[in-house]
Amino acid sequence: MSSWLDYTINGLIVGNVYALVAVGLALIFGVSRLINFAQGSIYLVGAYIGWVAVVQLHTPLPLTIIVVAATAAVVGLILERFGLRPLQNSVRIAPLLATIGISFVLDQLVMLTFSPNPRALPSQLPDIRFQLGGGTIGPLDLLIAGVGITSALLLFVFLRYSKLGWAVRAASQDRDAAMQMGVDVNRVNQAVFGIAAALGGVSGMLVGMYYNQIDTAMSLQATLKGVVAEVVGGAGNVPGAVIGSLLLGLVESYGVAVFGTSYRNLFAFLLLVVVLVLRPNGLFASARQAPPEPLTGTFIAPSRPVRIPRWALAVAAAAFAILPLFPVSFYVLQTLINAWLLGMLALSLTLVAGTIGQVSLGHAALLAIGAYTSALLSLALSVPVGLAVIGGGLMSAALGTLLISPSFRLRGHYVSIATLAIGEIVSLVILNWESVTRGPIGISGIPPLSLFGYDLISPTSIYWFSLVVMVALALLQGRLLTSHLGRSFRAIRDDDIAARAYGLSLNRYKSLAFIFGGFAAGVSGGIAAHLYSYINHETFNTQQSILALTVVILGGLGNVVGAIVGSVALVGLPEVFRIAAEYRILIYGVVLLLLVRFRPQGLLGTI
Amino acid sequence: MSNIDRRTLVRGSLAAMVAGAAFSRAALAQSSEPILLGVSGPLTGPNAQYGAQWKQGFDLALDEIHAAGGINGRKLAYQFEDSQSDPRQSVAIAQKFVSDPRIVLELGDFSSPASMAASPIYQRGGLVQFGFTNSHPDFTKGGDFMWSTSVSQADEQPLLASYAVRRLGLKKLAVLHLNTDWGRTSRDHFVKAAKDYGAEIAVTEGYIAEERDFRSTLVRVRDANPDGLILISYYSDGALIARQARQVGLKQTICAASSVYSPKFLELGGEAVEDVHLGTRYFPQDPRPEVKKFIAGFKAKYNGQEPDAFNAYSYDAMNMAASVVKIGGTDRRAIRDAFAKVKDVSSVIFGQATFDVESRRVKGAMNAELVVRKGQFALWDGKPT
C-alpha cells in the first residue's frame, strides 16, 4: 500500500512542524507550570522579522536565523520581565491570563505594523526535491526536522547535565526550596523564556518559509496545535513534545486518509482527550513521577472578596432595570444585552472554574449546544421559543456534563486543556453532522424570542428579558454558594483529598456543578440563537471561551457579582475603544494586562 | 481610519453646534455635511485582511465620485466600524447605525454569521443592509432591506464548470472546497453543473479555513485518480494547495474559482501556480472602460499595487451605493425603494448592474477565462497546458 507510506510520511512532515512550537511550550511549562498562550505570538513575531530580514535586508539564511532568534529572545525576555515576573507571587492563574493579554498585544502590534494581508516568505534554501514514496520532500523539511530534534536533544542535555539546567529543574520542582538553596530563580526563568522565545521565533520563520506564507492569523492555530502536541507528549517533557507532535501529525494524516479532510482536527483533539484520560501525565511520564500540579489548591488562591452590601446590589439592579425608560440609544441597550448574555456564560464558568476549581477553556461549546438545541426545537418541532430556550439549557446541562465527565479525574491546567479539546470537538461535530446541524451552511430563519405568544423584538423587551433571566440565574447561584452544597464545592476546590476524606463524592459534586453551569450557558446560547436568527459552527468559537474565562478571572473566581461586572467591562471596553478603530484591540489587551498586574485576584476577589 | 477622520467629524459637529445659534442645524447639514454610510466589517481579528481591502476599494470609488461632483453636490463618506466578523459586535454596530440618523445605508458585514445575525435589526430598523460579499443563499431572504451584489454561486459555478469540462476537456474531477457556507454552496452548484456537462466527480474534500497542510488530502485526491483539480478556495489557501499538490507529485490541470484572483495568489503560490486556470469577472487587459478606469485608478492611488477581487467588490459596492443615494436621497425607505429603481450601474464585476427585484441580487456577472502564464494572469489562448 504505497498510499499508507505517503500518509505516514505526510503525517511525520506536519508533525515536524508542530514539534517546533511544542518544544518551546514544553520548556516553559516544565519550569513555570504555565501554558504560555503567547508562544504563538512570538512565533508570529519571528515569522515577520524573518520576512524583514529576507525580503528587505536580503540576509543569508544563517544570519537570518541568528537575527530572528536574537530578536525573538529579546521579546521573550521583555515578556518575562514585565509581563510575568511581577505576577510570580500572585494567584497561579494570573500569569495564564497575562499570556493571553500579551498575545493580544503582540498579534495586534504585528498586524498594525505589517497590515493583515498575507505575505510570501521565500525559502532561502536551494529548491531541490527528493523523491520519497509517491511525493517529494525538500531541504526545508530536513532543516525543520533538524532544528526540532536538535533543539530537543540540546535542551534535554542542558537540563540534565548543566548547572543552570539543574537550577531550572530544581526551580520547577519547588521554587521556594530552590531559592533557599541559592538558585537565582529569576535568572532561571529569564534563561528559559529567552531560549523558548528564540526557538519560537525561528520556528515561525521556518514554518513561514515552508508554506511560503505568513499572516497574522497563524498565531492562535500554532498555539492550539502546539499545546495538544505538548500535552500528548507529557507537559514539560521536551523530548516527549517532539514525539507527541509526530504522533499528532500521524493521527491527523491517518484520520484524513480514513474519514476525509473535514474530520482532520477532530482526531487531533480526540487523541488529546484519550491521552489525558488514560495517561494524564502524557505518554512518556514514568509511573513514579510526582503529579505535576500541587496537591492542594494553590492554583486558585483564596483572597478577601470585596463585600458589596445587598442594598447597593438592589439599587444597581433597579437602575439597570429602569434604564430603558430613559432616552438611551438602542446601541447602548444592545451592548448591554450582549453583556447580560455573556454574564450568563460567565456565571456558568465562574461556578465551574471558580467555585469547584475546574478551569474550563471550552465553555463556548455549551453555548453552541444550547443554541443549536433551541434553534432546532423551535424550527423543526415548532416548540414555542420560551420552552425551546429552556430545552437548550437542559440539553447543554445534560450533554455538557456527559462530555466533560472523562476529565473529572484531572487537575489544574489539565482540566483546561481537556475542556479546550472538548470544545473544539463539539464545534467540529457541529460542522460535520450535516443531517442535524446543516453543517457549514448553518441554521437560518430562527424565529425571534417570544414569551406566551408575544414576540420580543424591540431591543427594550430583549433587554429586559435577558436582564431578568440573568438576575434570576445570579440569585439562584448566590443562594447556592451560601448553602451546604456551595461549601462542599469550595472544599473540593481548596483540597480535594481532604474533601474526599470527609466523605464528599468528587465526581457527583463536579457533575452537579456542570449541570447547573451547563444550564445557564445553554440558556445564554439559546437566547443568542433567537436574537441572531442565524447561527453556524463559527458563531460560538474558541475566542468566546477565552473571553468567558477572562471575564471570570477579571471579576474574581467564583464571584457571582464579579462575573457580571466583568462581563459589562469586557463587552463595554472594546465598544468604548471604538473611537480608536484598528488600535482598539491593542488598547484592550494593554488594559487587560494592567488589570491582571494590579488586581490579579480579580476586581471583586475570589469567593 | 474611516474616510472622514473622526476628529474632523467631531470638530465639524462642534462647529455645527456653535453655528446652530445662527442657522438651523438641518439646513447646515444639507449644504456641507457629507452623506454618511455605515460600514460593518473586520478591521482586526482573523479576517482583518478583507476589511483592509474593502477600504482600498471604497476610497478609490469615493475619490472618483467626488471628482465627478459628489451626490448632487454633497460629499459621500463612510464610517467603518470594526466587527471582527463577530456576530456579537455586528449586532451592536447594527443598533448603533440604526439609531444614528446620519447613516442612510449600511454596507457589510463580511462573514455570514456576523451579517445575518445583524439582519433582523436592520430589517426592523428600516435601514438597508447592503451585503456585497454575502453569498449565503439565505442572506437576502432576511427581509426587503437586505440587498446584495455578491455574485450568486448559482451563476458563477456553472461558468467555472463549463471552463473546466467543456473548454479544458476535463472528464474526472476532484473538488477541494473551503468548508464554509460559501464553499459548500459553491461546491454543490459546481458539482451539479459539471455532471450536467458530462464530467464525473471523483472526490470532494472540504477543509477548514485555518488549514495549512493539505498533503494528506492530496494523497486522497491522487488515489481517486482525477484528471483535473478544482479549487473552491480563497487566494491564500488556493496557493497553499497548488504548492503542495506539486510537492506530492500531482501534475493534473488545476482550475480555480474566481476568488483566487489576486496578485497575492501569484506571490504566495510562486512557480506552483503556473498554468493554473481560473474564471474571473474581469482581467487586466479587459477592454471594458469601467475595468480600465478601475485598474488604472487603483494602481495610481496605491503605488502600482494590482487590485484583486475583494478590491473590485468594494469599489463596485461604493459606486452602487452612490447611484442608489442619488436616486433615493437621504431617506432610508426611499433608499430601499431606490435599489429596485437603479438601472445599469457601471460595474467592474457585472459590466452593467441592475437588481433583480425578486431576489434582491444582481445577475449576469461577467466572465473571463484566465490562466497563469510566466507568473502573470493572462487570457487563456485555448492551448492545452
Of A26-30, A467-471, B84-88, where does the model show the most confidence?
A467-471
Residue A564 — very low, low, confident or very high, per pLDDT cuts 50/70/90? Answer: very high
pLDDT for residue A94 is more than 60: yes
Report the chain A residue with the minimal C-alpha distance to residue B85.
Answer: A539
Question: Do the beta carbons of residue A138 and residue A9 sit within 8 Å?
Answer: no
- Both B247 and B373 in a single domain? yes
Cβ separation of B213 and A14 shorter than 8 Å?
yes
Give A307's DSSP letter. Answer: P
Cβ separation of A111 and B248 shorter than 8 Å?
no
Q: Is beta strand A450-451 parallel, antiparallel or unpaired with respect to A454-455?
A: antiparallel
Q: What residues of chain B lie within 8 A of the CB of A444, using their CB?
A: 116, 136, 138, 141
Kindly report which listed range (A201-205, A591-595, B92-96, B203-207) carries the lowest average pLDDT score: A591-595
Q: What residues of chain B lie within 8 A of the CB of A116, using their CB?
A: 48-49, 51-52
- Both B220 and B258 in a single domain? yes
CA proximity to A265, closest of A377, A425, A412, A143: A425
Give B142's DSSP letter. Answer: G
Cβ separation of B138 and A581 shorter than 8 Å?
no
Cβ separation of B268 and A578 shorter than 8 Å?
no
pTM to 2 decimal places = 0.87
Of A385-394, A499-508, A532-541, where does the model show the most confidence?
A385-394
Among positive and negative, which fits the CA dihedral A521, A526, A532, A535? positive
Q: List pLDDT tens digits, range A37-49.
A: 899 999 999 999 9
Report the chain A residue with the minimal C-alpha distance to residue B208.
Answer: A262
Q: List pLDDT tens digits, range A222-265.
A: 888 888 888 888 777 888 888 999 999 999 999 988 888 888 88
In the sheet where B129-130 sits, what is the strand order?
A: B76-82, B35-41, B103-108, B129-130, B146-147
Kindly report which listed range (A62-76, A263-277, A508-522, B241-255) carries the lowest average pLDDT score: A263-277
Q: What residues of chain A lie within 8 A of the CB of B176, using their CB?
A: 261
- Both B105 and B186 in a single domain? no
Q: What is the mean pLDDT of residues B29-58?
A: 86
A182 vs B314, residue with greater confidence: B314
Question: Do the beta carbons of residue B318 and residue B58 sit within 8 Å?
Answer: yes
Query: Identity (one letter) of the amino acid at B381?
Result: D
- Both B239 and B180 in a single domain? yes
- Both B158 and B146 in a single domain? no
CA proximity to B48, closest of A572, A551, A586: A586
pLDDT for residue B323 is more than 60: yes
Question: Do the beta carbons of residue B204 and residue B148 sit within 8 Å?
Answer: no
Determine phi and psi for B130, rounding to 5 degrees.
-100, 95
- Both B129 and B162 in a single domain? no
pLDDT for residue B12 is more than 50: no
**In chain B, alpha helices (H):** 6-19, 25-31, 48-67, 87-98, 112-125, 153-161, 181-196, 215-224, 235-247, 263-269, 289-301, 309-328, 332-341
ipTM above 0.85, yes or no: yes
Closest by Cβ to B99, choosing from A11, A117, A331 = A331
Instruction: Please state, as a whole number, how many other Cβ atoms lie within 10 Å of the Cβ of residue A595.
Output: 21
Cβ separation of A538 and B111 shorter than 8 Å?
yes
Closest by Cβ to A536, choosing from B51, B112, B205 = B112
**pLDDT (0 to 100) of residue A185:** 81
- Both B137 and B198 in a single domain? no
Closest by Cβ to B216, choosing from A7, A137, A329 = A7
Q: Residue B334 pairs with which residues in a beta bridge?
A: none
Residues in chain A: 607
Q: What is the mean pLDDT of residues A97-115?
A: 89
Among positive and negative, which fits the CA dihedral A376, A382, A388, A391? negative
Question: Do the beta carbons of residue B65 and residue B71 sit within 8 Å?
Answer: yes
Q: What residues of chain A lie within 8 A of the CB of B247, using their CB?
A: 129, 135-138
Residue B31 — very low, low, confident or very high, per pLDDT cuts 50/70/90? Answer: low
Q: What is the mean pLDDT of chain B?
A: 87
- Report the distance separating Cα B107 and Cα A67, nearest Å: 44
Q: List pLDDT tens digits, range A452-466.
A: 878 888 888 999 999
Instruction: Please state, as a whole number, how many other Cβ atoms lie within 10 Å of the Cβ of residue B229.
Output: 25
Q: What is the mean pLDDT of residues B118-136?
A: 92
The minimum CA-CA distance between B117 and chain A, rounded to whole Å, is 4
C-alpha distances in angstroms, B383 versus A170, A373, A475, B153? 69, 54, 74, 27
Q: What residues of chain B lie within 8 A of the CB of A126, using their CB?
A: none
- Report the distance separating Cα B324 and Cα A419, nearest Å: 50
- Both B216 and B325 in a single domain? no
Q: What residues of chain A lie within 8 A of the CB of B138, using their CB?
A: 444-445, 534
**pLDDT (0 to 100) of residue A301:** 60
Range of the domain at B48: 34-151+291-353
Q: What is the mean pLDDT of residues A505-533?
A: 92
pLDDT for residue A284 is more than 80: no
The minimum CA-CA distance between B97 and chain A, rounded to whole Å, is 8
Please, what is the Cα angle at A85 between A84 and A88, to 5 degrees? Answer: 90
The minimum CA-CA distance between B262 and chain A, rounded to whole Å, is 12
Closest by Cβ to A538, choosing from B6, B113, B184 = B113
Residue A302 — very low, low, confident or very high, per pLDDT cuts 50/70/90? Answer: low
Question: How many domains, in total, are found in chain B?
Answer: 2
Q: What is the mean pLDDT of residues B209-232?
A: 91
DSSP three-state, residue A450: strand
- Report the distance separating Cα B347 and Cα B298, nearest Å: 15
Q: What is the mean pLDDT of residues A279-295?
A: 60
- Both B200 and B308 in a single domain? no
Q: What CATH number should be reported for the domain holding residue B135?
A: 3.40.50.2300
The minimum CA-CA distance between B343 and chain A, rounded to whole Å, is 30
pLDDT for residue B15 is more than 50: no
**pLDDT (0 to 100) of residue B160:** 93
- Both B83 and B172 in a single domain? no
Specify the CATH number of the domain A2-278. 1.10.3470
**pLDDT (0 to 100) of residue B21:** 39
Q: Where are the domains of chain A?
A: 2-278, 330-541
User: What spatial distance separates the first Cα and last Cα of chain A, rounded to whole Å?
Assistant: 60
Query: Identity (one letter) of the amino acid at B197?
Result: Y
The answer to whether position B341 is within a domain reads: yes
CA proximity to A339, closest of A564, A603, A604, A592: A564
- Both B305 and B198 in a single domain? no
- Both B54 and B175 in a single domain? no
pLDDT for residue B236 is more than 70: yes
The answer to whether position B2 is within a domain reads: no
CB pairs under 8 A between A and B: 214
Residue A294 — very low, low, confident or very high, per pLDDT cuts 50/70/90? Answer: very low
Q: List pLDDT tens digits, range A143-183.
A: 888 888 888 888 888 888 888 888 877 877 777 788 888 88
**pLDDT (0 to 100) of residue A393:** 96
Residue B385 — very low, low, confident or very high, per pLDDT cuts 50/70/90? Answer: low
The answer to whether position B359 is within a domain reads: no
pLDDT for residue B17 is more than 60: no
Instruction: Please state, as a whole number, how many other Cβ atoms lie within 10 Å of the Cβ of residue B33.
Output: 19
The minimum CA-CA distance between A256 and chain B, rounded to whole Å, is 6
Q: Is beta strand B76-82 parallel, antiparallel or unpaired with respect to B103-108?
A: unpaired
Instruction: Please state, as a whole number, how many other Cβ atoms lie within 10 Å of the Cβ of residue B37.
Output: 28
Cβ separation of B268 and A120 shorter than 8 Å?
yes
pLDDT for residue A357 is more than 70: yes
